[in-house]
Amino acid sequence: MSAQATARLLVSGEVQGVAFRFWTRRKAEAAGVRGWVRNLPDGTVEAVVQGDRPAVDSVIAWCRKGPAAAAVTEVETEWVHDAPEFTGFAIRY
């Protein structure tokens, strides 16, 4: 079993209005990770991704590209060490 990891992501670029949250949730569920994703008022997307480190890394890698209509310019990643345990993966509003 791989070590559990939690990452907080801040995704910048053309990432709102392009189904970024929907596709992030889909990719996260397919990877078997937990957490959430939401739009922020400044036009960025924030996500918290938790699970086995390779699965978390795969979602981070996907976020660097995003869905076809997105134009990601940056993904800031912060590793969180005392995160609460999440169940499922949600879109927050």
d(CA 35, CA 50): 6
Q: Which amino acid is at 38?
A: R
The 10s digit of each residue's pLDDT in 40-88 is 999 999 999 999 999 999 999 999 999 999 999 999 999 999 999 999 9
Per-residue confidence (pLDDT) for residue 2, from 0 to 100? 66
Among 59, 69, 58, 61, residue whose Cα is nearest residue 15:
69
Band of the pLDDT at 3, cuts 50, 70, 90? confident
Phi/psi-derived region of residue 83, left when phi > 0, alpha when psi is between -120 and 50, beta in every other case: beta
Query: Which residues are part of the catalytic machinery?
Result: 21, 39
Band of the pLDDT at 1, cuts 50, 70, 90? low
Per-residue confidence (pLDDT) for residue 6, from 0 to 100? 98
What is the model's pTM?
Answer: 0.95
d(CA 36, CA 51): 12
Among 40, 52, 47, 38, residue whose Cα is nearest residue 2:
52
